[in-house]
Chains A and B, each alone.
Chain A
């Protein structure tokens, strides 16, 4: 699904060069639930940005779903983000002026579906996160957990194959966090690959594999399990 080889990302400010990613090698198979962990400033966010095609990188290669995405135009990258990737952000990033329905609608708007198809997908997606009753609510009228659920619905509505979650529980209390993590699990079970970035070890445990980052490099990674073996473990 996701394969990075020696990916480097350099930030230049005047004469100083800072390596945000100093040669990352990482491989995520289809259907995996991977947690990326590391302290503040280790390059987690940069990794996520590069992985999600939110940002470009300077060196190395990156294959997403078998496609080389290192030299794509903005429009192509936008299309991949829209169709293949679902984002879940720490601060939810809901658009405060839009109600729940319209927020979930945002990615579909860029896909050019007709109104009926969009409506079906949105309703289904909201049902999935258990918010069908709050379609007309504005984000400010929802609790943090509910907001994050809307964000989930938005990430899922386009049926992406890869979910990128950035500290999805960072702004939530532990009770709400549990619910959100259950949801992530569920999504993964349904077949989506999930990559979650976090600094919290207890949350990282919910993933099936852990990758540790330090100073822009992978320092420790569990071996890549085989999909079937993994499923077996789960079913036990």
Chain B
């Protein structure tokens, strides 16, 4: 409506409106980048890992009895433990594991196609038995699972790898049955199965999708044995306690600790959660400060122009017209701030991407940010504008 006159008024009071515009633009830039960071951190928590996170209990058996140092004792204990676990009601699968996925602790190695003249590609490997795949809840999409023979036959080096890793090793998609080697060509491994998806130990590792499952029975006197047990999610809390009790009944010469995989993951990604919360608080406070700034600024505009409002009212402006005047003025300021703010947001994002490993700002988020900023601006301006609208037209005849 009165864009022309409003613009003129703004230009004549430039400093004050410049300030609030700048405040809006900085706020938009900061908020967009904060939300962008939060989304990335949240995505690391939420994205599918291929694992049955809600249905897995991690059991750590740490032997302290000297019996475990006897030949064969550890192996027998492992056998007995697994038998007990698998026979507990509600248990779907159980096996030993060298490391726990999503735990922040694991082993990585590099492989390449046998005989290839290039650098090896990183992957995160886990050693487990034939029930490992079922225990993790990952899906085998090609080839076969590991068998007992894969473990017991000393020379056998059959492995499973994730599709992501298979595709990076063999871009043609023909990884199944191929042989791969480490740094040297001695003892190559054969890919016998491909897993649809599985995350490794370090959620923020760039190669988190590159995972290999190797056959083996793990455990040592020093580190003890790590098991994972899969059950229906509804049952796992009760089952965790039962497991602790039953395993100790079986052999008391050790400490047994259980936690769910969901807990392990929450622990590993605890920093993410903490930063998300901090950023949320910062965003809320920032928007609060900016909104209050807009309220204050519009209030001043109204107070300062009491007489003009009276005059306008005398000249026939309705209350609605006055409201609209201030809301439009606010809209013009907010919008100019937003325009600059979008530029600032991308600049700040560029800095974050370049100097610290930030993630790129996506435009849909920017659109939401603009809409949000408009709403906040109009809402904040509403109360003082309403107050302005209620100024009596009789003010016009008052000699100041």
Contacts and interface: CB of A to CB of B under 8 A. Distances in A.
Within the complex, are A and B direct neighbours (CB within 8 Å)? Answer: yes
Interface of A: 45, 48-49, 52-55, 74-75, 78-79, 81-83, 87, 89-91, 93, 95-99, 102, 105-107, 109-111, 154, 158, 166, 170
Given A97-B13, A102-B4, A110-B321, A54 B394 contact: yes
A75 B8 CA distance: 27
A89 B311 contact: yes
A111 B314 contact: no
B236 to A, nearest CB: 66
B316 A55 contact: no
B5 A105 contact: yes
Contacts of B4: 102
Contact of A49 (B8, B307, B394): B394
Contact of B315 (A55, A90, A96, A154): A154
A54 B321 contact: no
A152 B399 CA distance: 18
Nearest to B13: A97
Nearest to B389: A74
Nearest to B321: A110
22 contacts: A49-B393, A54-B310, A54-B313, A54-B397, A55-B392, A78-B313, A79-B316, A81-B313, A82-B315, A82-B317, A83-B316, A87-B396, A89-B311, A95-B308, A97-B9, A98-B8, A102-B5, A102-B8, A106-B315, A109-B1, A110-B316, A110-B321
Contacts of A79: 316, 318
A105 to B, nearest CB: 7
A79 B318 CA distance: 8
Interface of B: 1-2, 4-5, 8-9, 12-13, 307-308, 310-321, 392-394, 396-400
Nearest to A98: B5
B397 A45 contact: yes
A81 B312 CA distance: 10
Nearest to A52: B314
A110 B315 contact: yes
Nearest to B11: A97
A152 B122 CA distance: 84
Q: Which 8 A-B pairs have the closest CB atoms?
A: A82-B316, A78-B318, A97-B9, A54-B393, A93-B311, A107-B315, A55-B394, A54-B394
A74 B319 contact: yes
A81 B163 CA distance: 77
A78 B316 contact: yes
B307 A97 contact: no
B2 to A, nearest CB: 6
A18 B321 CA distance: 32
Contact of B311 (A48, A95, A170): A95
A54 B396 contact: yes
Contacts of B392: 54-55
Contacts of A55: 392-394
Contacts of A106: 5, 311-312, 315, 317
Contacts of B307: 93
A58 to B, nearest CB: 14
Nearest to B315: A107
B39 to A, nearest CB: 43
Contact of B317 (A45, A93, A110): A110
A49 B397 CA distance: 7
Contacts of A90: 397, 399
A50 to B, nearest CB: 9
Central interface residue in A78, A106, A154, by most chain B CB within 10 Å: A78
Nearest to B4: A102
Nearest to A78: B318
A54 B310 CA distance: 9
Contacts of A96: 12
Nearest to B325: A109
A82 B312 CA distance: 10
A81 B1 CA distance: 20
Nearest to A115: B4
A161 B275 CA distance: 68
A168 B192 CA distance: 100
A97 B12 CA distance: 6
A81 to B, nearest CB: 5
B393 A81 contact: yes
Contacts of B310: 54, 93
A91 B1 CA distance: 27
Given A54-B392, A105-B5, A110 B318 contact: yes
B2 A109 contact: yes
Contact of B8 (A97, A110, A154, A158): A97
A158 B4 CA distance: 20
A176 to B, nearest CB: 18
A75 B322 CA distance: 12
B315 A48 contact: no
B393 A89 contact: no
Given A54-B393, A97-B13, A102-B8, A107 B316 contact: yes
